[in-house]
Structure 1
Protein backbone atom coordinates (compact mmCIF):
# COMPACT_ATOMS: atom_id res chain seq x y z
CA UNK A 1 0.00 0.00 0.00
CA UNK A 2 1.37 3.43 -0.90
CA UNK A 3 1.53 6.45 1.38
CA UNK A 4 -1.46 8.77 1.38
CA UNK A 5 -1.16 11.77 -0.91
CA UNK A 6 -2.66 15.21 -0.55
CA UNK A 7 -5.35 16.51 -2.84
CA UNK A 8 -4.29 19.33 -5.11
CA UNK A 9 -5.72 21.61 -7.75
CA UNK A 10 -4.04 20.85 -11.08
CA UNK A 11 -5.75 23.61 -13.06
CA UNK A 12 -8.02 26.46 -12.03
CA UNK A 13 -9.68 28.01 -15.04
CA UNK A 14 -11.83 27.44 -18.09
CA UNK A 15 -10.63 24.32 -19.97
CA UNK A 16 -11.75 25.99 -23.20
CA UNK A 17 -8.98 28.60 -22.78
CA UNK A 18 -6.14 26.30 -21.64
CA UNK A 19 -3.11 26.34 -23.96
CA UNK A 20 -2.45 22.89 -25.41
CA UNK A 21 0.59 21.27 -27.03
CA UNK A 22 0.13 19.98 -30.57
CA UNK A 23 0.65 16.21 -30.83
CA UNK A 24 0.25 16.14 -34.60
CA UNK A 25 -2.01 14.44 -37.13
CA UNK A 26 -4.35 11.71 -35.88
CA UNK A 27 -3.27 8.60 -37.80
CA UNK A 28 -4.67 6.86 -39.59
CA UNK A 29 -7.39 9.32 -40.56
CA UNK A 30 -10.43 7.90 -42.35
CA UNK A 31 -11.39 11.35 -43.68
CA UNK A 32 -10.00 14.86 -43.43
CA UNK A 33 -6.77 15.69 -41.63
CA UNK A 34 -7.55 15.71 -37.88
CA UNK A 35 -4.81 17.17 -35.65
CA UNK A 36 -4.64 16.38 -31.92
CA UNK A 37 -3.47 18.66 -29.11
CA UNK A 38 -3.27 17.97 -25.37
CA UNK A 39 -2.38 19.28 -21.94
CA UNK A 40 -1.78 16.47 -19.44
CA UNK A 41 -2.75 17.73 -15.99
CA UNK A 42 -1.93 14.58 -14.02
CA UNK A 43 -0.32 11.23 -14.72
CA UNK A 44 0.63 8.33 -12.47
CA UNK A 45 0.90 4.54 -12.81
CA UNK A 46 -2.88 4.05 -12.64
CA UNK A 47 -4.48 7.05 -14.34
CA UNK A 48 -4.06 10.22 -16.33
CA UNK A 49 -6.22 13.27 -16.92
CA UNK A 50 -6.07 16.43 -18.92
CA UNK A 51 -7.58 18.40 -21.76
CA UNK A 52 -7.58 17.08 -25.35
CA UNK A 53 -8.59 18.74 -28.58
CA UNK A 54 -8.95 17.52 -32.15
CA UNK A 55 -9.68 19.37 -35.40
CA UNK A 56 -12.29 18.11 -37.89
CA UNK A 57 -11.92 14.68 -39.44
CA UNK A 58 -12.89 11.06 -39.03
CA UNK A 59 -10.88 8.28 -37.35
CA UNK A 60 -11.23 4.96 -35.53
CA UNK A 61 -10.61 4.67 -31.79
CA UNK A 62 -10.58 1.89 -29.19
CA UNK A 63 -10.00 1.35 -25.46
CA UNK A 64 -7.79 -1.55 -24.46
CA UNK A 65 -6.75 -2.04 -20.83
CA UNK A 66 -8.32 1.18 -19.61
CA UNK A 67 -11.54 3.18 -19.33
CA UNK A 68 -12.13 6.82 -20.26
CA UNK A 69 -14.52 9.47 -19.02
CA UNK A 70 -14.88 12.43 -21.41
CA UNK A 71 -16.57 15.75 -20.64
CA UNK A 72 -16.89 17.82 -23.81
CA UNK A 73 -16.46 21.59 -23.42
CA UNK A 74 -16.62 22.66 -27.08
CA UNK A 75 -17.11 21.37 -30.60
CA UNK A 76 -19.50 19.20 -32.54
CA UNK A 77 -19.54 15.76 -34.08
CA UNK A 78 -20.51 12.17 -33.41
CA UNK A 79 -18.95 9.08 -31.91
CA UNK A 80 -20.34 5.84 -33.31
CA UNK A 81 -19.71 2.64 -31.35
CA UNK A 82 -18.98 -0.60 -33.19
CA UNK A 83 -22.47 -1.77 -32.10
CA UNK A 84 -24.00 1.13 -34.08
CA UNK A 85 -24.85 3.40 -31.10
CA UNK A 86 -24.36 7.06 -32.07
CA UNK A 87 -23.46 9.72 -29.50
CA UNK A 88 -23.61 13.44 -30.27
CA UNK A 89 -20.56 15.45 -29.22
CA UNK A 90 -21.50 18.88 -27.89
CA UNK A 91 -20.58 21.12 -24.94
CA UNK A 92 -21.81 19.53 -21.72
CA UNK A 93 -21.99 15.94 -23.02
CA UNK A 94 -20.26 13.33 -20.84
CA UNK A 95 -19.33 9.95 -22.32
CA UNK A 96 -17.71 6.89 -20.77
CA UNK A 97 -15.81 4.53 -23.07
CA UNK A 98 -15.15 1.30 -21.13
CA UNK A 99 -12.31 -1.15 -21.64
CA UNK A 100 -13.02 -3.06 -24.87
CA UNK A 101 -14.98 -0.21 -26.50
CA UNK A 102 -14.32 0.48 -30.19
CA UNK A 103 -15.83 2.97 -32.56
CA UNK A 104 -15.37 5.90 -34.87
CA UNK A 105 -15.15 9.65 -34.30
CA UNK A 106 -16.55 12.09 -36.87
CA UNK A 107 -15.60 15.61 -35.82
CA UNK A 108 -17.40 18.40 -37.68
CA UNK A 109 -16.21 21.31 -35.50
CA UNK A 110 -12.98 21.24 -33.44
CA UNK A 111 -13.71 19.29 -30.25
CA UNK A 112 -12.22 19.91 -26.81
CA UNK A 113 -12.76 17.60 -23.86
CA UNK A 114 -11.60 17.14 -20.30
CA UNK A 115 -10.67 13.49 -19.88
CA UNK A 116 -9.77 10.97 -17.20
CA UNK A 117 -8.34 7.61 -18.22
CA UNK A 118 -7.83 4.91 -15.62
CA UNK A 119 -6.34 1.45 -15.94
CA UNK A 120 -8.88 -1.36 -15.78
CA UNK A 121 -6.79 -3.24 -13.21
CA UNK A 122 -7.05 -0.29 -10.80
CA UNK A 123 -10.78 -0.77 -10.23
CA UNK A 124 -10.61 -4.57 -10.32
CA UNK A 125 -7.78 -4.80 -7.80
CA UNK A 126 -8.67 -1.93 -5.51
CA UNK A 127 -12.48 -2.16 -5.53
CA UNK A 128 -14.12 1.25 -5.12
CA UNK A 129 -11.78 3.85 -6.73
CA UNK A 130 -13.04 6.67 -4.52
Structure 2
Protein backbone atom coordinates (compact mmCIF):
# COMPACT_ATOMS: atom_id res chain seq x y z
CA UNK A 1 0.00 0.00 0.00
CA UNK A 2 1.36 3.41 -0.82
CA UNK A 3 1.82 6.11 1.80
CA UNK A 4 -0.95 8.39 0.48
CA UNK A 5 -3.53 5.62 0.70
CA UNK A 6 -2.51 4.75 4.29
CA UNK A 7 -2.84 8.39 5.38
CA UNK A 8 -6.20 8.67 3.60
CA UNK A 9 -7.49 5.69 5.60
CA UNK A 10 -5.96 6.60 8.95
CA UNK A 11 -7.11 10.23 9.22
CA UNK A 12 -10.87 9.43 9.20
CA UNK A 13 -10.28 6.55 11.62
CA UNK A 14 -8.39 8.85 13.99
CA UNK A 15 -11.21 11.43 13.91
CA UNK A 16 -13.78 8.73 14.56
CA UNK A 17 -11.76 7.38 17.48
CA UNK A 18 -11.41 10.84 19.03
CA UNK A 19 -15.10 11.59 18.64
CA UNK A 20 -16.06 8.33 20.32
CA UNK A 21 -13.79 9.06 23.30
CA UNK A 22 -15.83 12.06 24.42
CA UNK A 23 -19.39 10.93 25.11
CA UNK A 24 -21.81 13.55 26.35
CA UNK A 25 -22.06 13.43 30.13
CA UNK A 26 -25.54 14.34 31.36
CA UNK A 27 -25.11 17.08 33.95
CA UNK A 28 -27.69 19.00 35.97
CA UNK A 29 -29.00 22.42 35.13
CA UNK A 30 -27.14 24.80 37.46
CA UNK A 31 -28.34 27.93 39.18
CA UNK A 32 -27.61 30.38 41.98
CA UNK A 33 -27.81 30.35 45.75
CA UNK A 34 -30.65 32.80 46.46
CA UNK A 35 -31.49 34.17 49.91
CA UNK A 36 -29.27 31.66 51.72
CA UNK A 37 -27.09 32.41 54.71
CA UNK A 38 -23.50 31.27 54.13
CA UNK A 39 -21.27 29.61 56.66
CA UNK A 40 -18.14 31.62 57.49
CA UNK A 41 -14.99 29.52 57.00
CA UNK A 42 -11.40 30.35 58.02
CA UNK A 43 -9.69 29.27 54.79
CA UNK A 44 -10.70 28.21 51.25
CA UNK A 45 -11.12 24.57 50.21
CA UNK A 46 -8.31 22.67 48.49
CA UNK A 47 -8.34 22.05 44.75
CA UNK A 48 -10.96 19.61 43.48
CA UNK A 49 -10.04 15.94 43.47
CA UNK A 50 -10.07 13.90 40.26
CA UNK A 51 -12.79 11.28 40.08
CA UNK A 52 -13.56 8.27 37.95
CA UNK A 53 -17.18 8.48 36.84
CA UNK A 54 -18.94 5.12 37.23
CA UNK A 55 -21.32 3.74 34.63
CA UNK A 56 -24.59 5.63 34.31
CA UNK A 57 -27.48 4.00 36.17
CA UNK A 58 -30.46 2.65 34.28
CA UNK A 59 -32.63 5.62 35.29
CA UNK A 60 -32.59 7.81 32.19
CA UNK A 61 -33.19 10.97 34.23
CA UNK A 62 -29.94 10.58 36.18
CA UNK A 63 -27.34 13.35 35.87
CA UNK A 64 -23.76 13.45 37.10
CA UNK A 65 -23.13 15.83 40.01
CA UNK A 66 -19.40 16.52 40.46
CA UNK A 67 -17.74 15.95 43.80
CA UNK A 68 -17.06 19.00 45.94
CA UNK A 69 -15.52 20.06 49.22
CA UNK A 70 -17.85 20.45 52.21
CA UNK A 71 -17.03 22.33 55.42
CA UNK A 72 -17.39 20.04 58.45
CA UNK A 73 -16.83 22.07 61.61
CA UNK A 74 -13.08 22.61 61.47
CA UNK A 75 -11.96 21.07 58.19
CA UNK A 76 -12.83 20.46 54.55
CA UNK A 77 -14.12 16.98 53.64
CA UNK A 78 -14.40 15.73 50.07
CA UNK A 79 -17.92 14.71 49.03
CA UNK A 80 -17.60 12.31 46.09
CA UNK A 81 -19.54 12.95 42.92
CA UNK A 82 -22.58 10.81 42.19
CA UNK A 83 -25.38 10.07 39.77
CA UNK A 84 -28.57 11.76 40.96
CA UNK A 85 -32.11 12.17 39.66
CA UNK A 86 -33.23 15.82 39.93
CA UNK A 87 -36.64 16.78 41.26
CA UNK A 88 -38.94 18.12 38.51
CA UNK A 89 -38.25 21.82 38.00
CA UNK A 90 -35.11 21.80 40.15
CA UNK A 91 -31.54 22.90 39.52
CA UNK A 92 -28.17 22.23 41.18
CA UNK A 93 -26.57 25.12 43.09
CA UNK A 94 -22.89 24.06 43.31
CA UNK A 95 -20.84 24.67 46.42
CA UNK A 96 -19.09 28.02 46.28
CA UNK A 97 -16.74 29.94 48.53
CA UNK A 98 -16.56 33.72 48.10
CA UNK A 99 -14.64 36.49 49.80
CA UNK A 100 -16.99 39.07 51.25
CA UNK A 101 -16.36 42.80 51.38
CA UNK A 102 -15.19 42.58 55.01
CA UNK A 103 -12.54 40.00 54.02
CA UNK A 104 -14.25 36.92 55.48
CA UNK A 105 -14.80 33.77 53.45
CA UNK A 106 -18.41 32.71 52.97
CA UNK A 107 -19.22 29.11 52.02
CA UNK A 108 -22.49 28.09 50.37
CA UNK A 109 -23.08 24.33 50.41
CA UNK A 110 -24.06 22.67 47.14
CA UNK A 111 -27.48 21.13 46.72
CA UNK A 112 -30.72 20.96 44.78
CA UNK A 113 -32.95 24.03 44.64
CA UNK A 114 -36.40 24.61 43.19
CA UNK A 115 -38.11 27.81 42.15
CA UNK A 116 -41.35 28.73 43.90
CA UNK A 117 -44.24 30.58 42.25
CA UNK A 118 -42.54 33.95 42.70
CA UNK A 119 -39.37 32.67 41.01
CA UNK A 120 -37.31 32.58 44.23
CA UNK A 121 -35.07 29.58 44.80
CA UNK A 122 -35.80 27.25 47.70
CA UNK A 123 -34.38 23.99 48.99
CA UNK A 124 -36.61 21.00 48.17
Q: Same fold (TM over 0.5)?
A: no
- After TM superposition, the score normalised by the length of structure 1 is 0.24
- Structure 1 or 2, whichever has the larger Rg, is 2
Task: Name whichever structure is richer in helix by fraction.
Answer: 2
TM-score, with normalisation over the residues of structure 2?
Answer: 0.24
